[in-house]
Amino acid sequence: MEGILVPILISLGAFLMVFGLRYLENKERMAMIERGIDPGNRKKTNPAGALKWGLLFVGVGSGLLLAMIFTQYIFVNMDEDNQVPVYFGLIFIGGGLGLLRSYTLTKKEAAEEKHTEKQSVY
């Protein structure tokens, strides 16, 4: 009985969460209309945030893959207790490299926008 209860509760919880979010979004839009605010003028999402998270997860995944390769083929005689720091180290190195790459891409894009903005003013 308990084995079937978990998927049912997870499905029910996911449905209720989506329903609740849609309900609150509709309530917010109605309140904006009542106050005379155009609900279409909502703040757009920042694509740089998605880039940051995407590169972070790519870096973490690469770190995990490298850690697995290192522990399987390079550190063959290492016992499992000593493999844990290798995994954590490479996960954080990969994640950090992903965030650094995100920073450089965002900085480069901002500099290009500033440069094109200067050219269009004059």
What does the pLDDT look like over 56-114, one tens digit per residue? 999 999 999 999 998 889 888 888 888 888 889 999 999 999 999 999 998 888 888 88
Q: How high is the pLDDT of residue 42?
A: 67
Residue 34: Cβ-neighbour burial (10 angstroms; 0-12, 13-18, 19+)? exposed
Angle among Cα 9, 13, 16 to the nearest 5 degrees reads 140
Tell me: pLDDT of 122 over 60: no
Question: Which range, of 20-24, 29-33, 43-47, 76-80, averages the lowest pLDDT?
Answer: 43-47
Closest CA to 55 of 105, 92, 98, 97: 98
DSSP letters for the chain = -HHHHHHHHHHHHHHHHHHHHHHHHHHHHHHHHHTT--TT-PPPPPHHHHHHHHHHHHHHHHHHHHHHHIIIIISTT--HHHHHHHHHHHHHHHHHHHHHHHHHHHHHHHHHHHHHHHHHH-
Q: How high is the pLDDT of residue 64?
A: 92
**Domain parsing of the chain, residue ranges:** 1-42, 47-121
Q: Tell me, what amino acid is at 13?
A: G
Q: What is the mean pLDDT of the chain?
A: 87
- Comparing 45 with 109, the larger pLDDT belongs to 109
